[in-house]
Structure 1
Amino acid sequence: MGRDLFGTDGVRGLANTHPMTADTALRIGAAAGRYFRRDRGRAHRVVIGKDTRLSGYMFENALTAGLTSTGMNVLLLGPVPTPAVGLLTVSMRADLGVMISASHNPAEDNGIKFFGPDGFKLSDAAEEEIERMVAEGVEPAQAGNIGRAKRIDEGRFRYMERLKATLPHGMRLDGVKVVVDCAHGAAYRTAPDLLWELGADVVPLGTAPNGSNINDKCGSTHPDACAAAVVAHGADLGICLDGDADRVILIDETGRVADGDQVMALLASRWSEEGHLKGGALVATVMSNLGLEQFLRARGLRLERTKVGDRYVVERMREGGFNLGGEQSGHIVMTDYATTGDGLMAALQFIVAMVKTGKPASALAAQFDPVPQMLENVRYAAGSDPLGAEAVRQAIAAGERRLAANGRLVIRKSGTEPLIRVMAECEDEGLMREVVSGIVAEVEAAGG
């Protein structure tokens, strides 16, 4: 059957609009609960975390109703980062983990992400089966077998201790001044508290969520405020998280932005030198810069590319036995320590490199010169199929021929928003802009 609910990262959309309605969330909860209740001879539990969106309360209650109706016991974590849910699903021996978040999207959106009992995001096959069960309906548990729900407070503290354990034994961050922008999101307490407990001098931003200001001109998608604060406070580093803190963008002491590609380049080269990088490769998506690939090749390392989405990065890492991967957008996945992208963990590993080498962030955050890259997002009308239009296909084919010698072109639909993403890389910036603008014009015409 087709996938009407699940995209590249769970279910996501505008709150109170299909598929992100309370009714659908209840039915998804019931289907997921039934799917994961394989062993009926013991108690079953699910952990639910969320970010700070106003609609999170609605979806938390709806999912709880659906899950408990199938006999699942629900542990409500409150606002915690997405990677905390992956961790706690395993450490608390839950059958299922759920994160209510639309990540970097505006506050009006929301989403539902699922983690299996191993702490990893669900496979396409599992999501398709849950979607089938949603469509067909789920038999509820008998009245005496309905699950219970309760709130727990220790979840984020367990997660913080896990993050501390990823640092070299005895390492402290005393003397390191950090600006951390939490995007008014899920890490608004966790990130400043963690860095302070490790000894850092912390300047917090984006720590006053009100239900509607998550990601609003702050966080990883809007790093300007953090960059200005780094310079104003004379900080050593700026850390910009997104709404659910599974991605990070770093700011060096001069206010310059470093994306996920630069962070992955640093970690890959250092881990390789230390004999810690498994498989001699880094796993990243088709969106990562060509300069990263050239940087790795010069060091005898490979870049393994996947479809866009950190879940596909993780799947390839698990298949190939690799332990480092991520996305240019700032999802950094370190499977020795976590099951999904973790912005705070990646920031800590960067600070470890600063402490060990004694070098400033500016010396570590510019590992390679990126090949000129251009990305345009084109919004299209509901019901239209711009990529199916003949004029668009012809424009793409012509662009690929023009860039074939010294660049590349990546065209894809967003899995979380009604957008066509047009990305090109080329040493000849003028040619690159011509190609992108031509394709964008055809997509806009075809997409209404």
Structure 2
Amino acid sequence: MGRLFGTDGVRGMANRDVTAELALDVSVAAAHVLGSTGAFEGHRPRAVIGRDPRASGEFLSAAVAAGLASAGVDVVDLGVLPTPGVAHLTGVLDVDLGVMLSASHNPMPDNGIKFFTRGGHKLPDDVEDAIEQRMREPWDRPTGVDVGRIRLDIGSSGARYVDHLVSTLPAGADGGSPLAGLRIAVDCANGAASEVGPAALRAAGADVVVINASPDGRNINEKCGSTHPEQLQAAVVAAGADLGVAFDGDADRCLAVDHTGALVDGDQIMGILAVALKERGELVEDTLVITVMSNLGLQLAMTEAGIRTVQTGVGDRYVLEEMRAGGFSLGGEQSGHLILARHATTGDGTLTALQLAARVATTGRPLAELAASVARLPQVLVNVSGVDRTRAGTDDGLLEAVSAAEAELGRSGRVLLRPSGTEPVVRVMVEAGHQDLADQVAHRLADVVRERLAL
């Protein structure tokens, strides 16, 4: 049996991989492990639970609540709320753990279980491993007054989260609303931000045009949101909006669209916000944390702006680890998963949207102009299947080919080989100053991978 926890909690097809039984058992184990570390000492343990609108989230959140209560934990059910909202409330409500039911940007049939520790932080690997181990061990069940209680808190929790988001913005001109005068189109992906996303933008003073904010349990992420921005691009142009923002199903990501309908990706958003924070003296050590998949254009733009970049492996958890280790204030991924450490413990799409819109408002410059400061280099990704991924970093012939390609590209390009973590696949990524060169080098290296690493 493989490891239960992946890079972002437990995830799979709901009612097949992620079952009610699993949700109950892992929640009991989480309560026991967190309790054994001293988190529950001196008081009755408490937890909050949130979910995105997937139909399967209804039975899974009930199973999680049952598991926690059976282990003696008092539970507050927050209902539908973005993942970062659950993380935030885990911290401000001073509860012992938070649980989010969501598969983020995955299709509707999937779902997942994500835990937060006290303060709203994701679990480290060793705690996840301890939870898996605890699931296989017997336990003493509380009875009578010692079993946990479950209550609903739907509505007020969302309003509290919106208030927090808006409080992160500077005052507008002459003390007015921060986003006054801006028309913003928002694509909620029929997901967890369908209410709080538009509410936060309106509370900040924006004129908001909303699409895909009618979740029915089945339509989350369906040809909409940050993974399918085409609808938003058309809506921005049709509404004459200054910009648009698109969330994913649990609203921990945000991509943007400028007034012409052009996409503004996570790299460009990071660059814009990094410069804004640096100007305000809030970018710790003038450093931005990115992953190896961020476009080289971002790194070049940050160097030009006097900002250092630190690279991590792919995945927001690695960005978070680096940020916490160095005390850095901003990091993220090309996918639009940005972490603003001063205001959040995890990626927050609505927070990102507000901060980006505020930069447009305070500078008086259109998003297209701000985004142009991060010129994306042509990037080509080729997946080579049916190869021995374990030898990608050791095969002499392949390494020589990579070195030759890097010499050919010089400082205006780069090569990245990424073995899949689960499949016999090696991903070849090449960036170059010109699309033709990127294509040629990527496919040439893919041929070498195919030949040298053949099974």
Asked if these proteins are the same fold (TM beyond 0.5), I'd say yes
Unaligned runs of at least 5 residues, structure 2: none
**Aligned pair partner of 2:187 in 171, 174, 181:** 181
Unaligned runs of at least 5 residues, structure 1: none
CA contact (8 A) 1:261 1:292 kept: yes
Number of residue pairs aligned between Structure 1 and Structure 2:
442
The percent of aligned pairs where both chains have the same amino acid is 46
Following TM superposition, by how much is the alpha carbon of 1:445 offset from its aligned partner in structure 2, in angstroms?
Answer: 13
Equivalence for 1:72: 73
Closer, same or farther: CA 424–390 of 1 in aligned 2, 3 Å? closer
Structure 2 SS opposite 1:125: helix
Q: State the alpha-carbon separation in 2 of the partners of residues 447 and 75 from structure 1.
A: 53
Amino acid at match of 2:303: R
What does residue range 170-319 of structure 1 map to in structure 2 within 5 Å? 170-172=175-177, 173-319=179-325
Q: State the alpha-carbon separation in 2 of the partners of residues 103 and 314 from structure 1.
A: 17
What does residue range 9-408 of structure 1 map to in structure 2 within 5 Å? 9-18=8-17, 20-37=18-35, 38=38, 39-153=40-154, 154-169=156-171, 170-172=175-177, 173-376=179-382, 387-388=389-390, 397=399, 400-405=402-407, 406=409, 407-408=413-414
Residue-by-residue CA offset, 1:163-212 (whole Å, 9 max, x unaligned): 01001134412221111000000001111122223222111111111212
Following TM superposition, by how much is the alpha carbon of 1:236 offset from its aligned partner in structure 2, in angstroms?
Answer: 0.6
Q: State the alpha-carbon separation in 2 of the partners of residues 108 and 313 from structure 1.
A: 28
Following TM superposition, by how much is the alpha carbon of 1:262 offset from its aligned partner in structure 2, in angstroms?
Answer: 0.6
Following TM superposition, by how much is the alpha carbon of 1:411 offset from its aligned partner in structure 2, in angstroms?
Answer: 3.8
Q: Which moved more, 1:26-35 or 1:438-447?
A: 438-447
Structure 2 SS opposite 1:68: helix
Q: State the alpha-carbon separation in 2 of the partners of residues 62 and 438 from structure 1.
A: 51
Q: State the alpha-carbon separation in 2 of the partners of residues 32 and 387 from structure 1.
A: 34
CA contact (8 A) 2:71 2:148 kept: yes
Q: Which moved more, 1:391-400 or 1:285-294?
A: 391-400
Q: Which moved more, 1:130-139 or 1:115-124?
A: 130-139
Q: State the alpha-carbon separation in 1 of the partners of residues 107 and 317 from structure 2.
A: 21
Q: State the alpha-carbon separation in 2 of the partners of residues 196 and 444 from structure 1.
A: 56
CA contact (8 A) 1:13 1:416 kept: no
Closer, same or farther: CA 426–395 of 1 in aligned 2, 3 Å? farther
Q: State the alpha-carbon separation in 1 of the partners of residues 406 and 307 from structure 2.
A: 24
**Aligned pair partner of 1:409 in 406, 411, 415:** 415
Q: State the alpha-carbon separation in 1 of the partners of residues 189 and 387 from structure 2.
A: 33
CA contact (8 A) 1:8 1:415 kept: no
Closer, same or farther: CA 120–443 of 1 in aligned 2, 3 Å? farther
Amino acid at match of 1:53: R
Residue-by-residue CA offset, 1:127-155 (whole Å, 9 max, x unaligned): 11112212335443344411111110211
Structure 2 SS opposite 1:245: coil
Q: What is the TM-score of this pair, normalised by structure 2?
A: 0.90
Q: State the alpha-carbon separation in 1 of the partners of residues 437 and 213 from structure 2.
A: 43
Following TM superposition, by how much is the alpha carbon of 1:430 offset from its aligned partner in structure 2, in angstroms?
Answer: 3.6
Q: State the alpha-carbon separation in 2 of the partners of residues 57 and 264 from structure 1.
A: 35
Following TM superposition, by how much is the alpha carbon of 1:394 offset from its aligned partner in structure 2, in angstroms?
Answer: 7.6
Q: State the alpha-carbon separation in 2 of the partners of residues 361 and 411 from structure 1.
A: 33
Following TM superposition, by how much is the alpha carbon of 1:368 offset from its aligned partner in structure 2, in angstroms?
Answer: 1.9
Amino acid at match of 1:400: V
Q: State the alpha-carbon separation in 1 of the partners of residues 15 and 397 from structure 2.
A: 37
Structure 2 SS opposite 1:110: strand
Following TM superposition, by how much is the alpha carbon of 1:390 offset from its aligned partner in structure 2, in angstroms?
Answer: 7.9
CA contact (8 A) 2:183 2:208 kept: yes
Following TM superposition, by how much is the alpha carbon of 1:16 offset from its aligned partner in structure 2, in angstroms?
Answer: 2.2
Residue-by-residue CA offset, 1:340-376 (whole Å, 9 max, x unaligned): 1111111111111111111111111222211211234
Q: State the alpha-carbon separation in 2 of the partners of residues 391 and 274 from structure 1.
A: 42
Q: State the alpha-carbon separation in 2 of the partners of residues 176 and 247 from structure 1.
A: 21
Closer, same or farther: CA 356–277 of 1 in aligned 2, 3 Å? same
Amino acid at match of 1:401: S
CA contact (8 A) 1:387 1:393 kept: no
Amino acid at match of 1:388: T
Q: State the alpha-carbon separation in 1 of the partners of residues 10 and 420 from structure 2.
A: 13
Closer, same or farther: CA 447–129 of 1 in aligned 2, 3 Å? farther
Q: What is the TM-score of this pair, normalised by structure 1?
A: 0.91
Following TM superposition, by how much is the alpha carbon of 1:429 offset from its aligned partner in structure 2, in angstroms?
Answer: 3.5
CA contact (8 A) 1:94 1:117 kept: yes
- 1:432 is aligned to 2:438: yes
Q: State the alpha-carbon separation in 1 of the partners of residues 228 and 107 from structure 2.
A: 12
Q: State the alpha-carbon separation in 2 of the partners of residues 32 and 439 from structure 1.
A: 45
Q: State the alpha-carbon separation in 1 of the partners of residues 336 and 25 from structure 2.
A: 32
Q: State the alpha-carbon separation in 1 of the partners of residues 364 and 336 from structure 2.
A: 24
CA contact (8 A) 1:258 1:366 kept: no
Following TM superposition, by how much is the alpha carbon of 1:83 offset from its aligned partner in structure 2, in angstroms?
Answer: 0.7
Amino acid at match of 1:156: G
Following TM superposition, by how much is the alpha carbon of 1:40 offset from its aligned partner in structure 2, in angstroms?
Answer: 4.7
